[in-house]
């Protein structure tokens, strides 16, 4: 971990090498290194370091930041859920995760707080704080990408080392997003998150794995038994919340020679 002096020199050297205004990002939960208020005060003296996204989550430290830095230095909340207390201390706004899902609502809440319309700001905060917190049920950006996929905004694709959300946390996230009015309530027939299963068989012929959708009439997602099923030489794996997760699991099954997908996929 870098020392405070090491961080100061690092950020200062970057700022002196460019002619653009810079905003620092203090996120010790990700970096393992906290930028302390006294260090921010020194960095605020560097001409083109204009502000910080403060995501320590420590309100006592954030209060110390406001005491340490000059008034012209911009302090943004780095956590949606504490936007209002940060603004109340003198913050300039929020650099947001939830704005990917609710951009207009986050802008309205922030604008209201900056204009001292705390009734409006608190009303929006109370409505959307469960979503703000649910965005961190698993590693960011998995939940926000999952919600955007539920909204039909993007395709739910992840690159390693990120993996799709676990089925139970994804279901919780969908429930929160639905209650917030961000995601449409699913129809009765579609109330469950689509799931996928792997049928592994090494009884007859080569050791193989076949992917099935949970609604597959051929396999009845593990409740039925395909012809030739032998409990000593075949088994079901799953459920998996996403097809990509099932495919990934299939690739890591040892000894499998043939991997295929049922026509239901």
If we measure between CA atoms, which residue out of 212, 226, 131, 222 comes closest to residue 176? Answer: 131
For residue 32 the two structure tokens come to 């393992």
Q: What strands lie across the sheet with 93-94, from one edge to the other?
A: 22-26, 49-54, 74-77, 93-94
* Reduced DSSP (H G I as helix, E B as strand, rest coil) percent helix, strand, coil of the chain, to 5: 45, 15, 40
Cα radius of gyration rounded to whole Å, the chain: 25
Question: Would you give the DSSP letter of residue 218?
Answer: T
Query: Would you name the residues annotated as active-site residues?
Result: 25, 53
The count of other CB atoms within 10 Å of the CB of residue 159 is 6
For residue 206 the two structure tokens come to 């080569």
Counting Cα atoms < 13 Å in the Cβ hemisphere of 172 gives: 13
Question: Would you give the DSSP letter of residue 166?
Answer: P
If we measure between CA atoms, which residue out of 199, 137, 148, 140 comes closest to residue 173? Answer: 137
Q: What strands lie across the sheet with 258-261, from one edge to the other?
A: 234-240, 196-201, 208-213, 258-261
């Amino acid at each position: 971990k870098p020392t405070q002096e090491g961080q100061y020199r690092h950020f200062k050297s970057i700022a002196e090498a460019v002619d653009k205004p810079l905003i620092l990002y203090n996120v010790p939960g990700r970096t393992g290194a906290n930028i302390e208020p006294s260090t921010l005060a020194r960095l605020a003296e560097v001409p083109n370091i204009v502000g910080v996204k403060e995501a320590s989550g420590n309100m006592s430290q954030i209060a110390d930041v406001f005491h340490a830095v000059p008034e012209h230095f911009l302090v943004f909340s780095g956590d949606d859920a504490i936007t209002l207390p940060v603004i109340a201390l003198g913050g300039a706004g929020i650099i947001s995760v939830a704005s990917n899902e609710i951009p207009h609502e986050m802008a309205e809440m922030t604008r209201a707080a900056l204009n001292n319309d705390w009734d409006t700001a608190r009303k929006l905060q109370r409505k959307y704080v469960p979503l703000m917190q649910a965005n961190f049920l698993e590693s960011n950006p998995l939940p926000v990408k999952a919600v955007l996929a539920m909204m039909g905004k993007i395709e739910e694709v992840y690159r390693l080392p990120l993996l799709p959300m676990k089925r139970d946390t994804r279901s919780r996230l969908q429930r929160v997003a639905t209650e917030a009015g961000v995601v449409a309530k699913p129809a009765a027939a579609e109330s469950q998150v689509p799931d996928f299963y792997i049928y592994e068989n090494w009884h007859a012929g080569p050791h193989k794995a076949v992917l099935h959708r949970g609604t597959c009439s051929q396999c009845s997602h593990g409740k039925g038994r395909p012809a030739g099923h032998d409990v000593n030489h075949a088994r079901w794996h799953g459920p998996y919340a996403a097809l990509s997760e099932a495919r990934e699991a299939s690739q890591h099954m040892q000894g499998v020679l043939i991997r295929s997908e049922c026509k239901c996929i």
